[in-house]
Amino acid sequence: MKTLSLYRGIAVPSARVDSVVAAIESRGLRGDEGDWKFQVPDVAKVRADIEALFARPDLTIKDIFQSTPFLGICACGTSSGGEYYAAKHNFSTKNDYPLTIEFEAALDKIYVDPRDFLCTAFQLWDSCSMNLRASQAALLSELFGPRILRYFESACQVRDQTHRIAMCNLAAFDPEVVSAHYANRKVIAGRYGTSFASAFFVQTPVPPERIRRLYRAERNSPSVPDVSLSRFLGRLSG
């Protein structure tokens, strides 16, 4: 099974960093660390059902997430993405030590995190103009690979947000979409000021032998975005 190298960026109190590092090195990542906890489905099971789910005209997000027996964690496909979350997005006066965790995970445990770009793109692609559809499709293909287009086209056929939301979430599990998004190096400016080239959910646990490196992220200037959600939607020119 193909494995991907991923980067998880967290911020912890300086006084606790040694114990946090020791815990990750000894037990890996279980998904119960920190304040944010995500319930995720069996990625391989959803992936095996993609064609049947895609064919359902009444598909909803509940059909995809009907069972979520695992905890999940967020991670990026590039070191700069993980470092951004550690040193900026999650950083605070309380959690003042930016820690990046480099680890490996099998492809059948990974799906795209669609929250900060993909879902809004699918839901609101026509909020400013329907004439942008061709350029939007081309951009999605650059960021997520050509396989994303069948899901986008399905979303574009209806105004029903239930279907649009279901399609973007189903696309997130497609292994071709995951691999293409992982290969993307264009920096995306997403919702809430987020900055990443690729973002994923990872089904845990990640065993300690999969942890490759833990290091302090430097607070460098954020990468200049190549793509923004606002421009995708036609809210900004240029």
Q: What is the pLDDT of residues 120-162, one digit of tens each?
A: 999 999 999 999 999 999 999 999 999 999 999 999 999 999 9
pLDDT digits (tens, 9 = 90+) for 82-123: 999 999 999 999 999 999 999 999 999 999 999 999 999 999
Angstrom distance (rounded) from CA 109 to CA 128: 36
Angstrom distance (rounded) from CA 139 to CA 5: 25
Non-local (6+) Cβ contacts of 32 within 8 A are: 71
Is the separation of the CB atoms in 233 and 122 below 8 Å? no
| Number of helices and strands in the chain (H, E) | 11, 10
Is the separation of the CB atoms in 141 and 188 below 8 Å? no
Quickly count: other Cβ atoms within 10 Å of residue 180's Cβ. Answer: 20
Label residue 238 by pLDDT band (50, 70, 90): very low
Roughly what angle, to the nearest 10 degrees, separates helices 175-183 and 133-144?
A: 80
Three-state secondary-structure class, residue 195? strand
Percent of the chain that is helix, strand, coil (3-state, to 5) = 45, 20, 35
Q: Where are the domains of the chain?
A: 3-232
pLDDT score for 35: 67
Angstrom distance (rounded) from CA 63 to CA 83: 34
